[in-house]
Amino acid sequence: MILITDGGSTKCDWIAIDKNGQQAAEKIRTKGLNPAIIEEKKLNKIISKKKALKKIASEVTHIFFYGAGCGTEKPRQLLKNILQLNFPNALVEVREDTYAAVRATINTTDEAAVVCILGTGSNCSYFDGKQLHQRVDSLGYTLMDDASGNYFGKQLIRDYYFNKMPETIKLAFAHKHNLEADFIKYNLYKQANPSAYLASHAEFMFLNKDSEYILEVIKQGIRVFSENMILQFKDELKSVPVHFAGSIAFFAKKEIKEVAEEYGYKVGNFVRRPIEGLVDYHVNNL
């Protein structure tokens, strides 16, 4: 049995596949397992306490984990060690989530494309058909992650406090979320996963897209992401599409296409949840 995992900062989806390529159990969901921002004990607890994972642990022979925060060696090895501890009979492969986005969005295994992630966090890479290329190392949600869920959550909270929201939007935002200063600061500075907390505010945008203010917030975030991330690959963009994975990208399709026209790049596929594409990829390569 193999386990395929799409691991974000907010949540992780796990799918078990048997030797015949059939799904062997119901999809399992755990909290996010970003090893760059969650301490070792918490990571281990999330995995070890999940009954559905414990039930199949001894049967798992391979784990393919694609995760946020796994782009550098130290956190990647940390998570690999924890997975190995909980699945003692398994060969464990941990890759950054960008590989999941590539394998889930490209049309053929050797297709070249620029591939973007817009979920709780964000990233952008060029896949040449064989290898993945990145020209900017991600410094995480505090300094980067343009157009991600946590970026938009931060923008909305800032606009609320700086009185840049239209009054009707401001009232609706305060009705949906606890915007007391002490509550916000507690979640940002005292809790374990501030990026996921910020990203939880982003859904508000997609429930209020009839607002010109909201549409401009979305498009401006995508412009910043385009300038800082996508346009790194100016030469490649002349001949390849730009694919998108993640919930923010999925719900902002229209705005992404409009911004792409402004900047002159070609939009390709959108995948909300990379896990389905990952299953297809690994079934075809059993």
Q: pLDDT at residue 286 above 70?
A: no
Q: pLDDT at residue 193 above 70?
A: yes
Q: pLDDT at residue 59 above 80?
A: yes
Instruction: Count Cβ atoms within 10 A of the Cβ of residue 29 and give its class: 0-12 exposed, 13-18 middle, 19 or more buried.
Output: exposed
CATH fourth-level superfamily of 2-100+275-284 = ATPase, nucleotide binding domain (3.30.420.40)
Q: What CA–CA distances, in Å, run from 194 to 38, 41, 134, 198?
A: 10, 18, 25, 6
- Kindly report the backbone phi and psi dihedral angles of residue 192, in degrees, each rounded to the nearest multiple of 5, phi listed first: -80, -25
* Mean pLDDT score, 121-128: 94
Averaged confidence pLDDT in the chain: 93
* Mean pLDDT score, 109-135: 93
Contact 114, 126 (CB under 8 A): yes
State the pLDDT confidence band at 91, using cuts at 50, 70 and 90: very high
Alpha-helical segments (H) within the chain? 40-48, 51-56, 73-86, 97-105, 149-161, 167-176, 181-189, 194-199, 203-206, 212-228, 234-237, 247-251, 253-263, 274-284
Task: Supply the pLDDT for residue 105.
Answer: 94
pLDDT tens-digit series, residues 145-177: 999 999 999 999 999 999 999 999 999 999 999
**In sequence order, what are the residues at sequence separation of 6 or more whose Cβ sits closer than 8 angstroms to the Cβ of residue 180?**
none
- Kindly report the backbone phi and psi dihedral angles of residue 255, in degrees, each rounded to the nearest multiple of 5, phi listed first: -70, -35
* Alpha-carbon torsion, ordered 120, 260, 111, 135, to 10 deg: -60
Q: What CA–CA distances, in Å, run from 127 to 12, 105, 233, 273?
A: 24, 11, 11, 19
Per domain, the residue ranges of the chain are: 2-100+275-284
Q: pLDDT at residue 277 above 90?
A: no
pLDDT tens-digit series, residues 207-265: 999 999 999 999 999 999 999 999 999 999 999 999 999 999 999 999 999 999 999 99
CA–CA dist 81, 98 (Å, integer): 21
Task: Supply the pLDDT for residue 170.
Answer: 98
Percent of the chain with pLDDT over 90: 78
User: What is the residue-wise DSSP string for 248-268?
Assistant: HHHHTHHHHHHHHHHHT--EE
pLDDT tens-digit series, residues 30-41: 999 999 889 999
Q: pLDDT at residue 272 above 70?
A: yes
Taking the model in full, what pTM does it have?
A: 0.83
Nearest-5° angle of CA 258, CA 260, CA 263? 115
| Buried b or exposed e, range 128-157, using 16+ CB within 10 angstroms | eeeeeeeeeebebbeebbbbbbbbbbbbbb
Compute the residue count for the chain: 286
| Buried b or exposed e, range 248-267, using 16+ CB within 10 angstroms | bbbbbeebbeebbeeeebeb
Instruction: Count Cβ atoms within 10 A of the Cβ of residue 9 and give its class: 0-12 exposed, 13-18 middle, 19 or more buried.
Output: buried
C-beta neighbour count of 122 within 10 angstroms:
26
CA–CA dist 79, 75 (Å, integer): 6
